[in-house]
Structure 1
Amino acid sequence: MPKRRLQRVTDLTRERATALRRQATAPERILWSALRSRSLDGLKFRRQHPIEPYIVDFYCAEVQLIVELDGESHNGREDYDRQRSEYLGRLGFRVIRVSNDDVLHNLEGAVAYILRIARQPF
């Protein structure tokens, strides 16, 4: 599928991303500690990264991978999350979802899953 050129990120979206970084949830902070500083197989991840109108939880440009954390705030938002993932997929990104519970209770498994997907050809 051909990639289309991304729209410019608005200043408002960029400001929201900065605010979200400051207000990270416990699972976001824990996963960020496992992904930051190229500590996962040398891959560079960004957190609360704006892509068009959306702000994704974690993004690795090298492998076009978006990692979204799902917790209680996503309950009842499955349709929105699905549409958002499909939209980002059409832009050429791989989107995976990891539960907050996995990060909190099985961080090693969550990180192994992210690495397995990141290593797959895309």
Structure 2
Amino acid sequence: MGAQIRLFWMVLIPSALLHESGAQQLRLVNGWNKCVGRVEVNYEGTWGTVCDDNFDKKNAHVVCRQLDCGEATTVYGWSYFGRGAGPILLDDVNCTGSELYLWDCPHATWLVNDCGHNEDISVVCSGNISLYTM
């Protein structure tokens, strides 16, 4: 049985690492820390945005957990943290909330959308939240 468990981990872990370190990457930008901001994805070497169409808290929970930022507290549509540049890479994202990566959620084909950058989605996650006081 020990050999079976070792073999399982030898097969499972490399594929998980390749998936995360592959062409796709995820980040939040224009917020006050790495856990707040406009959602951006890197696909085939190009950074782009995610459309807010049907983007809900289940989708946001996947983003926050993928970035090791806790759970989603707020989802903002309509370019709350500014309009992105480059292509709109994902649209019609429909996560169940249990996916490991945003791109594992059902979505329209990469680069296919009916959005403008005025519809870029933004997320606030529970981790690393810092408040500025004056």
Shorter chain as normaliser: what TM range? 0.3 to 0.5
Superposition TM-score, scaled by structure 2 size = 0.32
CA radius of gyration, larger in: 2
Question: Which of 1 and 2 has higher RCO (CA within 8 Å, sep 6+)?
Answer: 2
Write 1 or 2 for the structure with the bigger share of helix: 1
TM-score normalised per structure 1: 0.34
